[in-house]
Amino acid sequence: MNNYDVVIVGAGPAGLACARALSKSNLSVLVLEKNDRLGKKICSGEISPKVLPDEKFDRGHPWKSMVIGTDTTKHKVNFDRPYLWTIGRFEFESYLMSKTKADIHFSEPVIKITREYVQTEKAKYSYKYLVGADGSFSKVREFLSLPAKHIVGWAFHVVLNKPANEFHLYWLPKSFPKCYGYVMSKNRNQTMIGVATTGERFDHGFARRAKLWIQDQFSIDTGNLKSESMKGNADYKGWEFGNIFLAGDAGGFLNPLTTEGIYYAITSGEGVAKAILGDPKGRAIMKKLADTHLWQVRIFDLATNTKLPFCWIINWILQDPRKGIRRKIFDYVLWKLIG
Ligand SMILES: Cc1cc2nc3c(=O)[nH]c(=O)nc-3n(C[C@H](O)[C@H](O)[C@H](O)COP(=O)(O)OP(=O)(O)OC[C@H]3O[C@@H](n4cnc5c(N)ncnc54)[C@H](O)[C@@H]3O)c2cc1C
């Protein structure tokens, strides 16, 4: 048995941010990662202005315009400053890892968890504190018997082997209720075009319809393109369970309105680390995140209920958010969510 003060499961943004914040202490910290390297998560790899605003690192490609579409419209909206940067997962996680002193073991999926230790195929590791930062299919969350139902979802897309030259978002209450369409970068060198929807399990019928939508909307033959899907978890049910903690997607901190998750992963990772260190700021961070999350869920439920006027208002704004009152509301909401 190998003994550590803190074992973190998952070397994504949540796990690495937690390990980085713990590096300021004398605690022994181990990060167990199932993949053989960083940056493999299926993700667009974009960060918003609120991600580590005081730190200097290469944030990547800045986005200052966005194509907004609905079932029947499509318009380009320009901004005077970037609302996102495509940094890429590998680059971002490498930056976080460069600031941690923790032991990081790659190719070591955690296969068993008990209240005293975690086990991989290679070894057993005892812990005083265990952090589940293992994403939307979290084994730690499963060990805690926490379901993930409201709100979880799937993104389905095809991948083009060239960088995205535009960022598109589609609000599609008629053809795909509770879904949004997207064209985004996939890290720095590829583009992903697809639709995200809610639901616990992957829906093959939905994937077929999404492919047809991609073909019609962008005149792309999807037949020869690689397709991918990935689950997101925005079903927050708590973060502290005795000496076991959840951060990032494992904790359901994903923002259901924007599916921005990197900011919430690093903030919850840091919050958990501070709580372990006994710093009262940790609990304050986690309380703020939980409160914000509950508001996001309320607004998501209102916005995606096609029977409610709130949903019609959003449809009206997004039909042409370029000027007038629609632009004012659009800007207010965008910078509130992302800035
Ligand atoms: C298609 C798509 C695009 C997205 N684009 C963006 C975006 O551009 N910007 C943004 O902010 N958010 C985006 N998100 C959300 C974002 O990807 C997640 O919210 C974020 O990755 C959560 O970070 P995390 O560290 O909690 O989990 P993850 O990034 O999922 O990291 C979890 C880590 O744990 C490891 N792991 C899992 N199980 C085990 C195990 N048993 N043992 C050991 N290791 C394990 C995994 O390999 C992984 O490295 C996107 C999501 C999707 C689905």
Q: For residue 293, give both structure tokens.
A: 């999350």
Residues 6+ apart with CB under 8 A from 285: 267, 268, 270, 271, 274
pLDDT band at 173 (very low <50, low <70, confident <90, very high): confident
Distance 286 CA to ligand 1 centre (A): 19
- Mean pLDDT across the chain, nearest whole number? 97
Average pLDDT over residues 267-287: 98
Q: Sign of the CA dihedral 258, 263, 269, 270?
A: negative
CB neighbours (10 Å) of residue 12? Answer: 31
CA of 322 to the centre of ligand 1 (A): 33
The pLDDT of residue 231 is above 90: yes
Residue 178, pLDDT score: 85
Q: 88 C-alpha vs ligand 1 centroid, how far in Å?
A: 12
Buried b (16+ CB within 10 A) or exposed e, 131-163: bbbbbbebbbbebbebebebbbbbbbbbbbeee
For ligand 1, residues with CB inside 6 Å are: 9-15, 32-35, 41-46, 109-110, 133-135, 139, 155, 230, 232, 248-250, 254, 259-263, 265
Pocket test for ligand 1, best of 144, 183, 249, 270 (most atoms within 8 A of CB): 249
DSSP state for residue 223 in the 8-state scheme: G
Ligand 1 pocket mutation pick from 16, 38, 43, 95 by most atoms within 8 angstroms of CB = 43
- pLDDT, one tens digit per residue, over 40-55 is 999 999 999 999 999 9
Q: Which residue owns the Cα nearest ligand 1 atom 2?
A: 43
- The answer to whether 227 and 159 have CB atoms below 8 angstroms apart is yes
Ligand 1: atom nearest CA of 109 is: 42
Give every CB contact of residue 55 below 8 A, 6+ residues apart in sequence: none
Nearest one of 170, 198, 203, 202 to 256, comparing CA atoms: 198
CA dihedral 133, 257, 51, 239 (to 10 degrees): -30
- Conformation bin of residue 191: beta by default, left when phi > 0, alpha when psi is -120 to 50: beta
Closest ligand 1 atom to residue 264 Cα is: 19
pLDDT > 70: what percent of the chain? 100
pLDDT at 43: 98
Mean pLDDT in residue range 309-330 = 95
Closest residue by Cα to atom 19, ligand 1, is 261
pLDDT at 240 over 90: yes
For residue 71, how many other CB atoms are within 10 A of its CB? 14
Q: Strand pairing of 244-246 and 240-241?
A: antiparallel
pLDDT at 339 over 90: no
Q: How far is the CA of 187 from the centre of ligand 1 (A)?
A: 13
Kindly give the distance from the C-alpha atom of residue 10 to the centroid of ligand 1, in angstroms, as a whole number.
9
211 contacts 220 by C-beta, under 8 angstroms: no
Helices (H), 99-235: 139-143, 204-218
Rounded to two decimals, the pTM is: 0.98
d(CA 222, ligand 1 centre) in Å: 26
pLDDT of residue 174: 86
What is the rounded average pLDDT of the residues 158-176? 95
Predicted pLDDT of residue 266:
98
